[in-house]
Chain A
Amino acid sequence: KQEVTQIPAALSVPEGENLVLNCSFTDSAIYNLQWFRQDPGKGLTSLLLIQSSQREQTSGRLNASLDKSSGRSTLYIAASQPGDSATYLCAVPWAGSYQLTFGKGTKLSVIP
């Protein structure tokens, strides 16, 4: 059974800082890994999807890396802004399945 862990559970940083969110998974036989953002009271917005054959993906100030062999992914946010405040979730499919297993998320607060 796939298990996904996100550390830290909460993070508070001053505006302008670069930061890293961590995601680890127990079964490395994944097809891809997806990072989502969730604002309070809202649904999930897909940020980045990394295929298992890729090492990283970039979108604007966001960079996600994937190390399948060690079961880890990181989401790097450059020059953080108050608008980045949200909960960030990572998700991977179960091995041999399309179903997603989610972590509990990291709640990010960027202080002006």
Chain B
Amino acid sequence: ETGVTQTPRHLVMGMTNKKSLKCEQHLGHNAMYWYKQSAKKPLELMFVYNFKEQTENNSVPSRFSPECPNSSHLFLHLHTLQPEDSALYLCASSQGIGQGHQPQHFGDGTRLSIL
């Protein structure tokens, strides 16, 4: 039990499809994160939510749309993606967003493939 659960684990979609990634944390944390991990590149932070409010959007294209209905759930809605968006998408959570609120706990990710 990692405490952070992501579904689905694998997703294959066409460029015109609409799909959503889901993340749920059972740790009582208040901050949640979306990261993108591409081959041979460092993890890239995409979005940060703290107490359901978005605090960071690291210049992510609008074809990625996050949603955080409560502190335990985080979604990433996908629409009209490009082949270069194929990657492992990781969700993480932490107690808060201050530097003293590490470590971040990660889910196992969703492996996304764009046809």
Query: Which residues does A use to contact B, with CB under 8 Å?
Result: 4, 31-32, 34, 36, 41-46, 49, 89, 91, 93, 97-105
Contact = CB atoms under 8 A, between A and B. Distances in A.
A98 to B, nearest CB: 5
Contacts of A91: 43
**A interface SS class:** strand
Interface of B: 2, 4, 6, 40-43, 45, 48, 56, 90, 92, 97-109, 111
B40 A42 contact: no
Contacts of B6: 43
A102 B43 contact: yes
Given A31-B99, A103-B42, 13 more contacts: A31-B100, A43-B2, A43-B4, A43-B106, A44-B106, A46-B104, A46-B106, A49-B103, A98-B97, A99-B48, A100-B45, A102-B42, A105-B42
Contacts, number: 57
Contact of B42 (A44, A45, A101): A101
B99 A32 contact: yes
17 contacts: A4-B42, A32-B102, A34-B102, A34-B103, A34-B104, A36-B106, A43-B6, A44-B90, A44-B92, A46-B106, A49-B102, A91-B43, A98-B98, A98-B101, A100-B43, A102-B42, A104-B42
